[in-house]
């Protein structure tokens, strides 16, 4: 088989089961088509595994197996293992979850989310794009579904030389999918939603809000379709105000509130820029939730993103009653947890509030982090107590 040879001393990451091979680690490449699966060996000729490669990318190769298991067999095995793991994690009370979490399940470039009997797929790399027919075949065998829909609108695809793509891959997609999470019903509009439908990675933190909500006045910023809002109301909150810049998202949030047995009040769903709302609004809350979109989509955005995170947390701290809580997050991959904590410290200092961290973000079980591939860790957050 065509073989990639790594430079002396540059094979350590692969030996440590890290999926990425950077261009600077490669001593020689065979003639190949971008996206093709190639064997990988050390400079001494030791076989290391199989991966797919793309000359366009700084991450030249992504490993699919770390032994002599053929690449397609490894993909099949890892999908089956991912599905089997989720069966141990969820019962009938939750039928919306991540089925495949890219490197976290040994499948770089592939995300699959399940919403009841609908699968939503994201393909980030050319190598996985070439494997897509095989992946769909395996999914049909391991997870029979009514429909498979692809939402591959990802910045990573541009470097891979791939256009964005969205469309139905199999079956018939209903206009909306009704799901349950922790026994709570939600409507998901797969086509018009952000990401794949729900922010599944926040499930454990929504449960945290459920446990904290009783009697509190809650402000849910960047509310999207009302996940935190529903959990706050189900937890007995005195009031939950949801703010988002998207009117369709707020409309869906109102529907989800209704589905859960509450009467949505127009004054509790506010279409506004969150930064502007926090500056102009003077009501005080007992719990403020900040779950913004990624402010740093690339490494060069980090400085500007940190300014935005600091500004957001500073103005939010002014809206919290003494003895209140702030649940604040960053999903920017390039802003790691120590940096985010520093930003929150600066925000608290400028706001003149005494702040303590009560808890850090809890990873949702269906978003496993590969211990050999820590770069997959992107979401971080703090539960803050504010004097």
Place of tokens 């990624």: 294
C-alpha angle 99-101-105 in degrees, rounded to nearest 5: 95
* CA atoms of 318 and 161, how far apart (whole Å): 45
CA of 121: how far to CAs of 106, 149, 176, 244, in Å? 16, 6, 17, 26
| φ/ψ bin of 255: left (φ > 0), alpha (ψ from -120 to 50), beta (otherwise) | alpha
Contact 383, 359 (CB under 8 A): yes
C-alpha angle 80-192-288 in degrees, rounded to nearest 5: 90
In the three-class reduction of DSSP (H, G, I as helix; E, B as strand; rest coil), residue 291 is classed as coil
Tokens of 91: 């019962």
Give the DSSP letter of residue 112: E
Residue 57 is among the residues annotated as catalytic for this protein? no
Closest among 220, 232, 205, 217 to 382, alpha carbons compared = 205
The separation between CA 336 and the C-alpha centre of its own chain, rounded to angstroms, equals 15
C-alpha angle 195-200-205 in degrees, rounded to nearest 5: 130
Residue 61's H or E segment, with its range, is strand 59-65
Pairing of strands 269-271, 320-330: unpaired
Give the DSSP letter of residue 48: E
Pairing of strands 285-290, 320-330: parallel
Give phi and psi for 32, each to the nearest 5.
Answer: -155, 165
Q: What are the catalytic residues?
A: 331
């Amino acid at each position: 088989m065509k073989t990639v040879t790594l430079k002396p001393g540059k094979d350590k990451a692969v030996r440590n089961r890290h999926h990425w091979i950077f261009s600077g680690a490669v001593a020689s490449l065979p003639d190949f088509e971008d996206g093709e699966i190639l064997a990988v060996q050390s400079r001494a000729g030791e076989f290391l595994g199989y991966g797919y490669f793309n000359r366009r990318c700084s991450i030249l190769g992504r490993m699919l197996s770390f032994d002599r298991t053929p690449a397609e067999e490894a993909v099949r095995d890892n999908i089956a293992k991912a599905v089997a793991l989720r069966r141990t994690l969820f019962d009938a009370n939750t039928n919306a979850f991540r089925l495949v979490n890219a490197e976290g399940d040994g499948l770089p470039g592939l995300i699959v989310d399940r919403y009841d009997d609908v699968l939503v797929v994201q393909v980030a790399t050319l190598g996985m794009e070439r494997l897509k027919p095989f992946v769909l075949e395996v999914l049909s065998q391991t997870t029979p579904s009514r429909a498979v829909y692809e939402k591959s609108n990802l910045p990573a695809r541009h470097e891979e030389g791939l256009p964005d793509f969205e469309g139905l891959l199999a079956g018939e997609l209903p206009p909306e999918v009704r799901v349950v999470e922790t026994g709570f019903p939600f409507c998901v509009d797969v086509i018009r939603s952000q990401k794949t439908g729900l922010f599944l990675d926040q499930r454990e933190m929504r449960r945290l809000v459920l446990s904290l909500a009783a009697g509190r006045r809650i402000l849910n910023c960047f509310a999207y379709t009302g996940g935190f809002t529903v959990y706050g109301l189900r937890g007995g909150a005195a009031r939950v105000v949801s703010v988002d810049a998207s009117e369709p998202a707020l409309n869906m949030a109102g529907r989800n509130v209704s589905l859960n047995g509450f009467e949505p009040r127009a004054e509790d769903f506010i279409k506004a820029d969150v930064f502007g709302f926090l500056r102009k609004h003077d009501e005080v809350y007992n719990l403020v939730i900040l779950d913004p979109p990624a402010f740093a989509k690339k490494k060069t955005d980090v400085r500007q993103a940190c300014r935005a995170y600091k500004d957001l947390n500073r103005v939010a701290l002014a809206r919290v009653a003494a003895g209140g809580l702030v649940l604040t997050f960053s999903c920017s991959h390039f802003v790691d947890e120590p940096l985010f904590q520093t930003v929150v410290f600066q925000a608290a200092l400028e706001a003149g509030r005494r702040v303590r961290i009560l808890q850090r973000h809890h990873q949702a079980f269906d978003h496993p982090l590969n211990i050999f591939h820590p770069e997959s860790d992107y979401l971080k957050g703090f539960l803050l107590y504010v004097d």
